[in-house]
């Protein structure tokens, strides 16, 4: 396993492409399945419902948002991460938020050394307001695969 010291890891190009692909780009603000105003590449910060966002502005917001979620992953985990774990956890926290990520069983399991169990926790985060969302099922399976990548035998699963 190629673990990387927590302070030395950075979100990879593959992670960025995967995140942008899952989020998609929307110039017109919209309310997501949870009712949260969103624009650009999944941005939920300072969205103005009647104001379109340009691609350059959305990319700037994506960069600013990623810095916040990368910081959360570094601060909330206590063990070295593989690139796949780091990318998966940043993508996940980008979707669920810093507080949900840091307080999750996923992080508790990871910090306790149950790396595979931590990756498997991703599959539980598929509901919005009590309803199973197929898009989240698909996204979480992709994040789980990313999380397990680089582990011996891809985590034994």
- Tokens 């669920």 locate to 96
Residue 70 annotated in active site: no
Based on its alpha-carbon atoms, the radius of gyration of the chain, rounded to whole angstroms, reads 15
Residue range 68-97: average pLDDT? Answer: 95
* Strand, helix or coil for residue 39: strand
Q: Is the pLDDT of residue 4 over 50?
A: yes
> Which residues on adjacent β-strands are paired with residue 40?
26
CB contact at 8 A, 31 and 128:
no
User: Average model confidence (pLDDT) for the chain?
Assistant: 91
For 113, residues 6+ apart whose C-beta sits below 8 A from its C-beta are 79
**Residue 136: per-residue pLDDT:** 96
Q: Model-level pTM?
A: 0.87
For 63, residues 6+ apart whose C-beta sits below 8 A from its C-beta are none
**Residue 155: per-residue pLDDT:** 47
Residue range 77-93: average pLDDT? Answer: 96
Percent of the chain's residues with pLDDT above 70: 92
CA-CA distance, 20 to 22, in Å (whole number)?
6
Q: pLDDT confidence of 157, banded at 50, 70, 90?
A: very low
Q: Is the pLDDT of residue 113 over 80?
A: yes
pLDDT digits (tens, 9 = 90+) for 19-39: 999 999 999 999 998 899 999
pLDDT digits (tens, 9 = 90+) for 40-58: 999 999 999 999 999 999 9
Alpha helices in the chain (DSSP H): 13-23, 55-76, 83-96, 98-102, 105-111, 115-121, 134-148
Whole-angstrom CA distances from 56 to 40, 42, 52, 82, 90 are 9, 14, 12, 31, 22
pLDDT digits (tens, 9 = 90+) for 127-153: 999 999 999 999 999 999 999 997 876
Q: Which entry of 23, 70, 121, 143 is annotated as an active-site residue?
A: 23
Burial of 58 (0-12, 13-18, 19+ CB in 10 A): buried
CA-CA distance, 107 to 93, in Å (whole number)?
11
């Amino acid at each position: 396993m190629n673990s990387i010291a927590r302070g030395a890891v950075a979100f990879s190009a593959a992670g960025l492409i995967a995140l942008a692909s899952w989020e998609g780009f929307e110039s017109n603000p919209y309310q997501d399945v949870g009712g949260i105003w969103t624009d650009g590449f999944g941005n939920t910060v300072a969205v103005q419902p009647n104001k379109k966002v340009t691609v350059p502005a959305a990319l700037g917001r994506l960069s600013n948002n990623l810095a916040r979620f990368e910081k959360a992953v570094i601060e909330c985990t206590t063990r070295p991460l593989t690139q796949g774990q780091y990318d998966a956890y940043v993508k996940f926290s980008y979707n669920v938020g810093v507080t949900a990520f840091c307080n999750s069983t996923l992080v508790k399991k990871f910090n306790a050394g149950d790396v595979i169990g931590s990756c498997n926790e991703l599959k539980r985060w598929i509901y919005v307001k009590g309803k199973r969302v197929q898009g989240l099922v698909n996204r979480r399976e992709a994040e789980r695969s990313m999380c397990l990548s680089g582990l011996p035998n891809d985590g034994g699963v």
